[in-house]
Chain A
Amino acid sequence: MNARLLPLLATLVIFLVAYAICYAQYPAMLSTRVIGNLLTDNAFLGIVAVGMTFVIISGGIDLSVGSVIAFSGVFIAVMLRDTGLHPAVVFALLLMLTTLFGAAMGGVIHFLEMPPFIVTLAGMFLARGMAYVLSIDSVPITHEFYEILQRSYWLMPGKGRLTLIGGMMLIVFIAGIMLAHRTRFGTNVYAVGGGVQTAQLMGVPVGRTTIGIYALSGFLAGLAGIVFSIYTSAGYSLATVGVELDAIAAVVIGGTLLTGGSGFVAGTLIGVLIMGLIQTYIIFDGTLSSWWTKILIGLLLFAFIVLQKGLVWTTGKRRMAGG
Chain B
Amino acid sequence: MSVFKLFLRRIMPQLITLALVVGLIAIMFPGFFDISIANGRLYGSPIDILNRGAPVALLAIGMTLVIATGGIDLSVGAVMAICGAMAAWGITEGYGLGLTLMMALAAGLACGLWNGLLVAVLGIQPIVATLILMVAGRGIAQLITEGAILTFNHEGLIFFGSGSLFTIPTPIIIAIVTGALVTLIVRRSALGMLIEAIGINLRASTLAGVNTRVLLIAVYMASGLCAALAGVIAAADIRGADANNAGLWLELDAILAVVIGGTSLLGGRFSLIASLIGALIIQAINTGILLSGFPPEFNLIIKAVIILVILVLQSPTIRTMVIFLSPAPVSAAETEKQAVNQ
Contact = CB atoms under 8 A, between A and B. Distances in A.
Given A113-B315, A320-B123, A322-B70, A298 B265 contact: no
Interface residues of A, number: 46
Contacts of B139: 291-295, 298
B132 A294 contact: no
Interface string A308-322: 010000000000101
Contacts of A114: 311, 314-315
Given A121-B307, A294-B135, A112 B298 contact: no
Contacts of B124: 305, 309
B184 interface: no
A51 interface: no
Interface in B294-339: 295-304, 307-308, 311-312, 314-318
Interface stretch (B140-148, B189-197, B214-222): B140-148
Contact of B134 (A245, A259, A295): A245
Contacts of A129: 297-304
A282 to B, nearest CB: 12
B301 A130 contact: yes
Given A119-B311, A126-B304, A323-B70, A111 B317 contact: yes
A133 B301 contact: yes
Contact of A289 (B147, B259, B314, B315): B147
A164 interface: no
A115 B307 contact: no
Interface string B128-169: 110111111111101100110000000000000000000000
Q: DSSP class of A's interface residues: helix, strand, loop or mixed?
A: helix
B311 A306 contact: no
A3 to B, nearest CB: 18
Interface of B: 70, 72, 122-125, 127-129, 131-140, 142-143, 146-147, 202, 243, 252, 255-256, 259, 265-266, 295-304, 307-308, 311-312, 314-318
Interface of A: 61, 108, 111-115, 117-119, 121-126, 128-130, 132-133, 136, 245, 248-249, 252, 258-259, 289-295, 297-299, 301-302, 305-306, 309, 320, 322-323
Given A291-B140, A297-B135, A322-B70, 15 more contacts: A108-B311, A111-B317, A112-B312, A114-B315, A115-B265, A115-B266, A119-B311, A121-B307, A245-B134, A249-B135, A294-B136, A298-B133, A322-B202, A323-B70, A323-B125
